[in-house]
Amino acid sequence: MDLDLDAHLTTAEAAVADAVDLDALAIVDTELLGRKSALATVRSRLGDMDPDDRKVVGRRVNEVRTEVERLISERRAELAVGARAEVLEAERLDLTEFDRGRRLGHRHVVTQTWERLEDLFVGMGYTVAEGPEIEDEWHNFGALNFPLGHPARDMYDTLYVEYGEPQSTLLRTHTSPVQIRVMEEQEPPIYSIMPGRVFRSDTADATHMPVFHQIEGLVVDRGITFGDLAGTLDAFTTAYFGSEFTSRLRPSYFPFTEPSAEFDIRRPDGSWLELAGCGMVHPEVLRSCGLDPEDWSGFAFGFGLDRLALMRHGIDDLRELFRNDHRFLGQF
């Protein structure tokens, strides 16, 4: 026997007690209990001993091992408390900094953007409409000219709700179903915007969230043309971003608009940024809402609202908008 197990236990005890943090303890753990530890070596040699010795030494090795494990886990618990205290100290907020009564809260950046957009469109004569976040398949897709099984439905990673027939109820994937609700409830002329939360089964990263915000615009009147759409979006661009910004439309596809376009803005540095989908309301969509396309025409657009908030404040990670860390939000 070349290892004095009692002496080894004493050394082990000291080594565990000396580990100053969790990282150091992990190293001690491997040294004392790992595959190359003295204990493991003794254990592997048990087979060569004569049966009587093996019994005695084997039992003692196990006892020492159990004791070392206990010491390590005790020390780990101690160090974890310390580590937690350190984190708490580092993240401590001095509440006396908040001079009560004078330091007021303020609206969330997304709400600020939402209200600014509402103000702007209300100023252009639009009303504000809202619809439910849990939608039926008809309003989110069917009435918008996505027939069942149409591949364009795959553009949206839909989150379905277990209610009624399979896939009949969902979290709305865009604000466009509110167009349908407005046309169902109200005779034209319609000049409305529809801000709200929308949902897609996306993994959260710097530019995607499973919950985000859109603002929809819908105009239905007599003799509305594509020129009206382009002019409205251009007026919006200047009013919202300033006169150094211009806009353009690029051909695109949506089942509920024809023709369809993407709306980009041009920033003062010359770069383009895609902001919205838009187009002329498809005659089928008007018919679905009981409107005769011979009498009425219209345009629609749908913007991502969060991106406007990020741009305005130079924030580069969408997730910050949803973390609700007041040290972050307090800056805006």
Q: Which is nearer to ligand PHE, 19 or 300 (CB)?
A: 300
Q: Which is nearer to ligand PHE, 28 or 199 (CB)?
A: 199
Rounded CA-CA distance 262/276 in Å is 6
- Give every CB contact of residue 168 below 8 A, 6+ residues apart in sequence: 136, 137
CB of 79 to ligand PHE, least distance (A): 50
Region 203-232 residues binding ligand PHE, contact defined as CB under 6 A: 216
Residue 300 as a binder of ligand PHE (CB under 6 A): the answer is yes
Which of 207, 213, 214 is CA-nearest to residue 320? 207
Determine the interface stretch with ligand PHE among 5-13, 91-99, 158-166, 274-282 (rule: CB under 6 A). Answer: 274-282
- CA Rg value for the chain: 33
3-state secondary structure 79-146: HHHHHHHHHHHHCCCCHHHCCCCCCCCCCCHHHHHHHHHHHHHHHCCCEECCCCCEEEHHHHCHHHCC
Q: Which is nearer to ligand PHE, 8 or 153 (CB)?
A: 153
CA 179 to chain centre: 25
Contact 193, 129 (CB under 8 A): yes
Q: Which of residues 182, 278, 308, 310 is near ligand PHE by CB under 6 A?
A: 278
Q: Which is nearer to ligand PHE, 22 or 273 (CB)?
A: 273
Total binding residues for ligand PHE by CB under 6 A?
Answer: 11
The DSSP H or E segment spanning 236 is helix 226-241
Region 254-273 residues binding ligand PHE, contact defined as CB under 6 A: 254, 257
24-40 residues labelled b (16+ CB within 10 A) or e (exposed): ebeebbeebbeeebbbe
Strands 190-199 and 127-128: parallel
CB atoms within 10 A of CB 227: 9
- For tokens 């005890």, name the residue: 13
CB of 290 to ligand PHE, least distance (A): 20
3-state secondary structure 6-59: HHHHHHHHHHHHHCCCHHHHHHHHHHHHCCCCHHHHHHHHHHHCCHHHHHHHHH
Task: Report the residue closest to ligand PHE, judged by CB.
Answer: 302
Residue 176 as a binder of ligand PHE (CB under 6 A): the answer is yes
Q: Which of residues 131, 188, 195, 277 is near ligand PHE by CB under 6 A?
A: 277
Return the sign of the alpha-carbon dihedral for residues 275, 280, 282, 288. Answer: positive
Q: Which is nearer to ligand PHE, 136 or 216 (CB)?
A: 216
Residue 200 as a binder of ligand PHE (CB under 6 A): the answer is no
Determine the interface stretch with ligand PHE among 18-26, 37-45, 223-231, 298-306 (rule: CB under 6 A). Answer: 298-306
Distances in Å between the alpha carbon of 19 and those of 24, 29, 78, 88?
5, 10, 11, 21
Residue 282 as a binder of ligand PHE (CB under 6 A): the answer is no
CB of 202 to ligand PHE, least distance (A): 13
CB of 102 to ligand PHE, least distance (A): 42
Q: Which is nearer to ligand PHE, 113 or 158 (CB)?
A: 158
CB of 305 to ligand PHE, least distance (A): 12
Q: Which is nearer to ligand PHE, 37 or 175 (CB)?
A: 175
Look at residue 228 and give its three-state secondary structure: helix
Residue 146 as a binder of ligand PHE (CB under 6 A): the answer is no
Determine the interface stretch with ligand PHE among 77-85, 129-137, 162-170, 295-303 (rule: CB under 6 A). Answer: 295-303
Amino acid type, 54: R
CB of 277 to ligand PHE, least distance (A): 3
| Interface contacts to ligand PHE, rule CB under 6 A | 174, 176, 216, 254, 257, 277-279, 300-302
